[in-house]
Structures are given as C-alpha cells and as structure tokens.
Amino acid sequence: MKLFLKSHKKFIGLTFFFFIALCVLGSGLQQYLLAGTEKTYEELKIFSDVLDIIEKNYVDPIDSKKLIEGAIQGMVESLDPHSSFLSPDVYKELQIETKGEFSGVGIVITMKDNVLTVISPIEGSPAHRAGIKAGDQIIKVDGEYTRDMKMWEAVKKMRGKKGTSVVITIVRKGLAEPKDFTIVRDIIPLESVRSYLLKPGYGYVRITNFRDNTYRDVKTAIKKLESGKTPLKGLILDLRDNPGGLLNQAVKVADIFLEKGRIVSIKGRSKAHSKVYSAHREKEERHPYPIVLLINEGSASASEIVAGALQDHNRALVLGTTSFGKGSVQAVEPLRGGAGLKLTIARYYTPKGHAIQAKGIKPDLVVEQTAPTEADAKEQHYLKEKDLKNHLPARPKEGLSKEAREKLRQLRGVKVPDQEPSEAVKDILAKDNQVRIALEILTSWQKFSKMPY
C-alpha cells in the first residue's frame, strides 16, 4: 500500500510538471521550465502533494482548474505589480483597451504598497469628470473593500454597461476621511490627441494616452498648428495624467522632434528583450521652435519615454512634478484556452542611461498644479484708465465701420490678428496655472532671443 502511494505521488508530480509546461506557460516559456534546476522540480513536487491533499481532504468539493489558476496568479503577482496571469475574460478586455471601445469609469490603476491606487483618470472619462485624481487610493467598490481583491477583480467590478453606476470610495491626501464618488459608467473615449492655438504663434498639444493612431494624430495636430496665419514660435506638449500605452507610438512621437540620437533603450535579462530605439536622421519636416513639456505624477510608462528623450536631448524644457516612475516593459504571452500571461521582461532607460523605474522623470522646472481660486476664475480686476467713464480712446475714431476699418488696415499692410481664442482655450488659460506658466516661458524666450547681448 505504501509503495502504491509513493508511486502515485510520483506520478502526480510528473504529470503536474508536464501539465504546467505544456498547458499553462505556453510555448515561449516551455524550454526554460524543462531545463529548470532540480530544486525547481522538488518545489513542483511539493505543489503537487498539496494539490493532491486538498483534492482528497478539503471539506467541500473543489475545482482543480480554479485552484491551479489561483496558484499561477499568486505566483506571477509575487514578481511585481505589473505581471499577472490573465483569465480569458481579462485577456480579451486587455486587447479591447488598446484597439476598441469599452464601457466603464475610465481610470488606470495599479497596486502600490498592496493598496489599489489610481495612476491617472482617462481624460474625458466619467471618473475624470467626477473628480478622481492621480494618487487616489481606492478602498471600496460598491461598498466592498478592495483590500483582498486582485487588481483584475477590481477592474471587472468597475467595468459595466453604459448608464449603470458604481460607487468608488477613495482615500486622498488632504481629505480628513474617505470620500464616496458615485460614477455613471460610459463609453471610454478613445481620442488620444487634442490641440489648440493658445495665442497666435503658440500651440498646445495634449496626448492623453498612446494608442494605435496617436503618432498619426499628433502629426496631424502639429501640421494644423503650423499652418496658421502666424508661424509657430513655441509648442506646449502636455503629457500630464497620461498613463502610457503602446511603446512604438511613444517612440514615433519622440522621433517627430528629434533628428538623431537614442530615444530609449530597453534592457532585459535576455538579449532578445534588449533593444535600442533611435531617431531618424533624415526628415522632410522640421519643427524649429522651443517646446515646454508638461508632466505630473500621473504621467507613466510611454509618456515618461517621450519626456525623458526630449529632456536628455535638450529638445524640451520639462515642467511640472516628478512622473509616476513606471519604467518596466511588459510582454503578453497568449496561453492555451484563451488566457494570457503578462510578464515584466525589461526596464526602460533614457538616452543618457537614467533608469525610469521607481524614479520617474524629474522636471527641469518644478511647478505644482494649483486649483484656481475664485479670484483667478473671475480674473481679478483692478481699476484702469479704460474703465473710467468718457475715457479717451487709444486712437481717434475713424468714422468707419468695423469691417471697413479692418479692410483699410489690410490695405495699409497692417496684419489682422488671428481669430479670438475659443472657449476651451480661455478655460485652459483661466484654470491651468502650469499651462499659463509654460506659455509665459515660451513668449519670454522669444523676447530674450531678440535681445542684443
């Protein structure tokens, strides 16, 4: 009988070993496991013993597949916050996030010190409109504590049909107690690029994330800004609260503004996971104007690659606060049965060799984002000459209509200013102190560059 049990356990150990190698880890990792050490094999035997004992002795019947998947999930999540085993449903959602539409609240989250933490809300999403901010700690979803939740479980609970609501309870620095946000789910916007002309000659491009068409949309936005009546003299590139996305799109966006040199290097334990991305020397289009690039603690991953590249090449002045610090590369390996394995395989390094991981990109000019005061919003007004009753105009009245005066100025060679700024631009300049400071820097640079010194 003892001999039978011994042989039975050995059989289970061998069977489980080959089951893991062939059915779970996929073809990309089979060779590593099969060539594993004797110590690894011994640990797998212990695992098979535990599984056997649970199957035979646990008080209730159990699903072996669920046990094994849970064990794999725990194994992978013990590596780092960004590695995970993806069930078929979660793997499918991951593919949708970068290529299609999905319904939910619109936040990018991670596990920080075992607490579910917001990297950044997606601009224009329900969470963004509700006031969720980077750094918020999510302690409950619909009243259920997230302390014991897996990250994918929390994501699944926050996803849902458009029009339905979910209550998210957050802890935030500066708040005396947790705060509930009731958020109505909606289709998450996939538009990743927005652009405005802040004033004649000064453009603004906001990249909210890096998706399939981000590079193309950035090129289109810049072309539109450069084709205005006034030549572009400066650009604000806004990567705040940009959680990242596709590496190739970040590299292409950085390449728009660089003529040569390294953009980013990736270094992994395997040579196959190490690569250097460089700028292309030959370009038909040049963009000869200064750039102020905005980042904050919600800028992560791909956005840190762009910021680091432009900063190291002195192509942009980086303004804001230190970025999130996600400088690791994940690859997704499809597994049998529709599941997937997201595994960290390398680290990012800036052109000068600085590690982004856990350090982030430090701005050249630290400027905290401040909430607009009531005085700012109303543009505090001081009494001036023009406010006095019956004040003299700057020039004598010409006795002509506005249209006629404008036509006369054109005929005299006086340039008519570009159109009035849109309401969106007025709103940005009224409420966003970092954008205002960036614009002041660009306009000051133009002034200083013309001084004879």
Mean pLDDT of 135-152: 91
**What would the pLDDT profile of 350-371 be if each residue is shown by its tens digit?**
999 999 999 999 999 999 998 7
Q: Which of 301, 303, 323, 328 is catalytic?
A: 301
Q: Is the pLDDT of residue 30 over 50?
A: no
Residue 332 phi/psi, 5° resolution?
-110, 120
Nearest alpha carbon to residue 112 among 45, 187, 171, 56: 171
As a whole number, the mean pLDDT across the chain is: 83
Number of H helices, E strands in the chain: 14, 19
Mean pLDDT of 225-233: 92
pTM for the model = 0.75
Q: Which of 217, 241, 326, 432 is catalytic?
A: 326
The better pLDDT of the pair 191, 307 is held by: 307
**What would the pLDDT profile of 63-88 be if each residue is shown by its tens digit?**
998 899 889 989 998 999 889 999 88
Locate 293 and state its tokens.
């690039």
Q: What is the DSSP string of 290-357?
A: -EEEEE-TT--THHHHHHHHHHHTT-SEEEES------EEEEEEE-GGG-EEEEEEEEEE-TT--B-T
Mean pLDDT of 250-256: 97
**What would the pLDDT profile of 161-177 be if each residue is shown by its tens digit?**
999 999 999 999 889 99
In this structure, the chain runs to a length of 453
The better pLDDT of the pair 282, 258 is held by: 258
Give residues with Cβ within 8 angstroms of 297, minimum separation 6. Answer: 134, 135, 321, 322, 323, 324, 360
Instruction: Answer yes or no: 186 catalytic.
Output: no
Band (pLDDT 50/70/90 cuts) for residue 100 is low
Nearest alpha carbon to residue 281 among 255, 251, 314, 249: 255
The better pLDDT of the pair 154, 16 is held by: 154
Instruction: Answer yes or no: 87 catalytic.
Output: no
Q: Is the pLDDT of residue 260 over 90?
A: yes
* Angstrom distances, CA of residue 405 to CA of 84, 196, 229, 409, 421: 67, 28, 20, 6, 21
pLDDT value of residue 401: 60
Structural domains of the chain in order of their starting residue, each with its CATH number = 2-62 (no CATH), 101-187 (2.30.42.10), 190-334+350-453 (3.90.226.10)
Q: Which of 136, 241, 312, 432 is catalytic?
A: 312
Q: Is the pLDDT of residue 411 over 80?
A: no
Instruction: Answer yes or no: 312 catalytic.
Output: yes
